[in-house]
A and B are shown apart, each in its own frame.
Chain A
Amino acid sequence: MWLRNILSEIGFEQEEGTVMFCDNSSTIKLSKNPVLHGRSKHIHVRFHYLRELVNDGVIQLDYCGTQDQISDIMTKAVKLDVFEKLRSRMGVCLKEENTGKEPFQFKGGNEE
């Protein structure tokens, strides 16, 4: 939410609802309709803020498989191959050194 606000402040307004990926399908179901049964009854009222956002279409919860779950890396110890894959998905990589390219320059300005 706050990230959306910051982005709209700097001119990158997100027109559509932000998609959040989640690897638990019952959470997604719970966010869509308020079935209060035994195990979800006690979830603190504060967390039903999420349901309001989902109903308003600001946030959209989508299911994604464990293989594509980038935030796995933030919550548990994963195996090396998974770790490296998720790391590169986040854009973390070795700095490109001396690629021979001209440094990036803005076009325009005063020519003649």
Chain B
Amino acid sequence: MNPMVPGQKLTKAGAGEEVNPTTFKQLVGSLRYLIATRPDLIYLVNLVSRYMESPNEQHMVAEKRILTYIQGTRDFGIQYKYGGEQTLVGYVDSDYAGDVDDYKSTSGYDFMLGGGAVSWVSKKQPIVTLSTTEAEFVSAAYGAC
């Protein structure tokens, strides 16, 4: 199953009734632990973490979808191959104005070594960018630091 719904945008206002913020935060905290070994979850966990302040049904559904996905992929892990690629290769990307509340972009990078990912990040950019090139440039600079 796909843990993310393509084209769906979460907003701060969300939809539905409010849910217990403490439960929501506890779940986010637990998911954050998983990021250390599961790079496929990072975008989603990053996404739901933005709505910890006043979570509601829409956010909770998104979070529970992650949990369902994890349940189905419990035995997954990163496999590094013996004698794999020994040079570091990076991938950087950004989504221009991905957040519909403040139109900031998300930058993400991923470094590969030995046939697997060794370092990965997904982070909302601290500044508002005015073009895709600028958003991409900011994430490239972030990945290079």
Known contacts A71-B91, A74-B122, A75-B106: A50-B137 contact under CB 8 Å: yes
24 A-B contact pairs sorted by A residue (CB < 8 Å): A14-B87, A20-B90, A20-B92, A20-B140, A23-B93, A23-B136, A27-B136, A27-B140, A39-B131, A39-B133, A39-B134, A40-B133, A42-B134, A47-B138, A47-B141, A49-B145, A70-B91, A76-B106, A77-B5, A77-B43, A90-B39, A92-B38, A92-B78, A94-B73
Q: Is A36 an interface residue (CB 8 A)?
A: no
Decide: A76 and B90 in contact? CB cutoff 8 A: no
Which residues does A use to contact B, with CB under 8 Å?
Answer: 1-4, 7, 12, 14, 16, 18-24, 26-27, 30-31, 39-40, 42-44, 46-50, 53, 59, 61, 64, 69-80, 83, 86-87, 90-97
Contact B92 A22 (CB under 8 A): yes
Indicate the size class of the contact surface on chain B. Answer: 35 or more
Q: How far is the CA of A19 from the CA of B91 in the complex (A)?
A: 8
- A79 CB to closest chain B CB (Å) equals 5
The answer to whether A80 and B2 touch across the interface, beta carbons within 8 angstroms, is yes
Q: Does the CB pair A20–B143 fall under 8 Å?
A: yes
